[in-house]
Amino acid sequence: MSDSSLNIEKSLNKARWVMPDVPLDAVERLARQYDLPEPVARLLCARSVPEGDVMGFLNPTLKDHFPDPFSLQGMEDAANYLAQAIQDKRSIAIFGDFDVDGATSSAVLYRFLKACGIDAPIYIPGRLTEGYGPNDEAFKSLKAQGAEIVILLDCGTTAFETIAAGKAMGLEIVVVDHHEAEERLPDAVHVINPKRRDDTSDLKMLAAVGVTFLLCVAVNSKLRAAGFYEGDEPPLKQWLDIVALGTVCDMVPLTGANRLFVRHGFAMMERTNNVGLKALIDVAGIDGALDTYHAGFILGPRINAGSRVHQSDLGAKLLSTDDTEEAKNIAWTLNDCNDKRKAIQATMEREALAKVEALGLDQHPVIIVDDEGWHQGLSGLVAGRLKDKYGKPACVIAYKDDEGGMPLGTGSGRSIPGIHIARAFMDARNAGLLEKGGGHAMAAGFTIDPVKLEEFNSFMHEHIRAQLESADTQVETVIDGVLSLRGTRVEFVRMLQDYVGPFGQENPEPMFLFSNVRVQKADVVGQSHIRLQISDWEGGGWMKAMAFRTVGTPLGDALLKSKTRGIHLLGQIKINEWNGQESAEMHVKDAAFVIDDAQAQDSAVEG
pLDDT digits (tens, 9 = 90+) for 256-276: 999 999 999 999 998 899 999
* pLDDT on residue 581: 87
- Tell me which of 71-80, 159-168, 170-179, 491-500 is least confident: 491-500
Q: What burial letters (b/e) apply to 524-547, b meaning 16+ CB within 10 Å?
A: eeeeeebbbebbbeeeeebbebbb
Rg of the chain taking only CA atoms, in angstroms: 25
- Using one digit for the tens of pLDDT, what is the confidence trace for 515-544? 999 999 999 998 889 999 999 887 778 899
pLDDT-based confidence at 74, cuts 50/70/90? very high
| Cα four-point dihedral sign 198, 253, 398, 362 | positive
Mean pLDDT for the stretch of residues 157-173: 96
* pLDDT on residue 67: 97
Strand partners, 235: none
Residue 470: pLDDT over 50? yes
pLDDT-based confidence at 559, cuts 50/70/90? very high
Residue 1: pLDDT over 60? no
Contacts of 333 (CB under 8 A, 6+ apart): 306, 311, 314
SS3 call for 183: coil
Residue 4: pLDDT over 60? no
- Using one digit for the tens of pLDDT, what is the confidence trace for 377-390? 899 999 999 998 89
* pLDDT on residue 567: 93
Q: What is the CATH number of domain 72-336?
A: 3.90.1640.30
Class assignment of domain 3-19+479-606? mainly beta
List phi, psi (to 5°) of 252: -85, 165
**What span, in angstroms and rounded, lies between the C-alpha atoms of 9 and 84?**
61
* pLDDT on residue 505: 85
Q: What is the CATH number of domain 360-470?
A: 3.10.310.30
* pLDDT on residue 311: 86
**What span, in angstroms and rounded, lies between the C-alpha atoms of 12 and 569?**
10
* pLDDT on residue 601: 47
Contacts of 227 (CB under 8 A, 6+ apart): none
Contacts of 149 (CB under 8 A, 6+ apart): 82, 85, 90, 91, 92, 93, 171, 172, 173, 174, 189
* 353-to-309, 347, 542 alpha-carbon distances in Å: 22, 10, 37
Q: What burial letters (b/e) apply to 125-154, b meaning 16+ CB within 10 Å?
A: bbbbebbbbbbeebbeebbeeebebbbbbb
| pLDDT above 70 coverage of the chain, percent | 96
SS3 call for 510: coil
In this structure, are residues 206 and 258 in contact, taking their beta carbons and an 8 Å threshold? yes
* pLDDT on residue 473: 59
* pLDDT on residue 463: 96
In this structure, are residues 116 and 86 in contact, taking their beta carbons and an 8 Å threshold? yes
- Using one digit for the tens of pLDDT, what is the confidence trace for 78-97? 999 999 999 999 999 999 99
Residue 234: pLDDT over 60? yes
* pLDDT on residue 145: 95
Entry field: residues in the chain: 607
* pLDDT on residue 472: 65
**What span, in angstroms and rounded, lies between the C-alpha atoms of 177 and 153?**
6
| pLDDT above 90 coverage of the chain, percent | 71
Question: Which of 351, 385, 357, 384 minimizes the C-alpha distance to 370?
Answer: 351
* pLDDT on residue 322: 97
- Mapping DSSP onto H, E and C, the string for 224-238 reads HHCCCCCCCCCCHHH
* pLDDT on residue 20: 85
Give the dihedral of Cα atoms 12, 13, 19, 20; nearest 10 deg. 160
In this structure, are residues 104 and 112 in contact, taking their beta carbons and an 8 Å threshold? no
Question: Which of 190, 192, 166, 188 minimizes the C-alpha distance to 179?
Answer: 192
Question: Which of 102, 130, 152, 155 minimizes the C-alpha distance to 303?
Answer: 102
Longest dimension (CA), the chain: 77
- DSSP E strands, 113-218: 122-123, 149-153, 172-176, 190-192
- Using one digit for the tens of pLDDT, what is the confidence trace for 430-444? 999 999 898 888 899
* 435-to-142, 155, 445, 536 alpha-carbon distances in Å: 24, 16, 11, 57
